[in-house]
Chains A and B, each alone.
Chain A
């Protein structure tokens, strides 16, 4: 069964949730991956959405963060202050699953402005939403993002959500409790922070992707792990589940 780069990305992201119990889900690619994980290898995964749903079990992808299906299939529906204060802030969530408009070499995320200055930006993006606290408070953060030299930049134009700052030790110095971004999954490969420097390095490439391709889509002088692995291609079952999920969401 042939597959697209986007399908490989969604499946790799879903696999990353193996063994995780509670995931705080951003809309878009993270939601696709989390729902796919729940339909395949992680049926007990608890999906938390910032609209106030704990344990949503939608049978299709929600159209937005507040889609009624998230409330109708949840274990509990709570207010937004409660989501952030009682469930996210104390560190009850294993993984925060985020997207990004820009991501830099230390895993900082920008969803605020691109180009120009803050008051006169070239592009105004939606802003922070729940992401800063997700990035601060979840035990780990996974980022899923389509990779290009525009999205993978040396330094983000605006730090909306803190990753590893300017390198190893910044999170500890600031008193942040979660480990920050430990995994970045793109349509080309997988990146993890270097244990010494916290800089994102390439650890795996998806099937058919070349190192030159990854370098061309990275806005900094990319470093690679000593041995770069190959992501196992999607299984027939994974692809079928992803396509069924997409079909059910039309």
Chain B
């Protein structure tokens, strides 16, 4: 059964140095506050996993929390580049960053395999691209029935997956809706999971299109209103487009970023 705890307790208990950590969210419901708490608690040597690493991963990378990034598209959506990510790849600053690079379809299928308890997934993509030549986790495979050449990618099973959702009840059942990305698969693929939620309610009222992750499939829940900012939580908040635009200047400059980092480290966690 999911235990309801504070964000600081959850990160302290679930995320250890050297872990493989996925903070998932496809533009919507990005668990940014949890990422900031990982920075505050000073985790190191993490392998960060995410289809679309955006600002919060730029922040974690710039803060020196990551040793490796497993991803399929790294950018500031609607704005441009992630400059901390670029600085780490191009100049090893503040620490070298190893990358394992996939396509969205490859990453999505890796989570599906992980959630399904299978060792790998099969897809038709990647053929002819240069990605298999730089990524060891993309291999050709022959269909045993038709002989067709396809691609295999290994399951992703993070040590811990963190997502943000609209709400949970007091028993720790989690409800989320809107653009759901790959969040369900990422939670089910993980050994441990944390869901930060906008609110904890007495009863989960049904919502069209919503999914529920039952309490027994989640490790911990923390109530963190606004925990997805600057991304949005449908029904609760709007995307803060100005923040994404403003991040470009902060992320571009090491000193500006150091100022930002100092502020985050001094914040009192939710």
Contacts and interface: CB of A to CB of B under 8 A. Distances in A.
Contacts of A68: 28, 178-179, 232, 234, 238-239
B108 A132 contact: no
Nearest to B77: A64
B127 A136 contact: yes
B71 A127 contact: yes
Nearest to A50: B104
Nearest to B245: A63
List the 9 closest pairs (A to B, CB-CB), nearest first: A66-B27, A162-B128, A126-B75, A64-B77, A129-B73, A64-B78, A84-B105, A81-B108, A128-B103
Q: Interface of chain B, helix or strand or loop or mixed?
A: loop
Interface in A71-88: 71, 77, 79-81, 84-85, 88
B102 A175 contact: no
20 contacts: A51-B27, A52-B179, A65-B27, A66-B77, A77-B178, A79-B181, A84-B123, A89-B123, A89-B124, A121-B89, A127-B73, A128-B104, A130-B104, A132-B125, A133-B104, A133-B125, A137-B124, A159-B129, A162-B128, A174-B127
A160 B134 CA distance: 11
B74 A127 contact: yes
A52 B29 CA distance: 14
B41 interface: no
Interface residues of B, number: 53
Nearest to B51: A80
Contacts of A170: 128
A162 B104 contact: no
A81 B111 contact: yes
Contact of A176 (B82, B111, B127): B127
A63 B45 CA distance: 33
B229 to A, nearest CB: 14
A50 B125 CA distance: 15
Interface string A32-67: 000000000000000000111100000000011111
Interface in B80-111: 81-82, 85-86, 89-90, 101-105, 108-109, 111
Q: Bin chain A's interface residue count.
A: 35 or more
A112 B90 CA distance: 13
Nearest to A62: B78
A67 B239 contact: yes
A9 to B, nearest CB: 20
A218 interface: no
Nearest to B87: A124
A160 B133 CA distance: 11
B72 interface: yes
Contacts of A214: none
Contacts of A64: 27, 77-78, 239
Contacts of A171: 128
Contacts of A79: 180-182, 184-185
Contact of A80 (B90, B101, B108, B231): B108
A116 to B, nearest CB: 9
B126 A175 contact: no
A70 B234 CA distance: 12
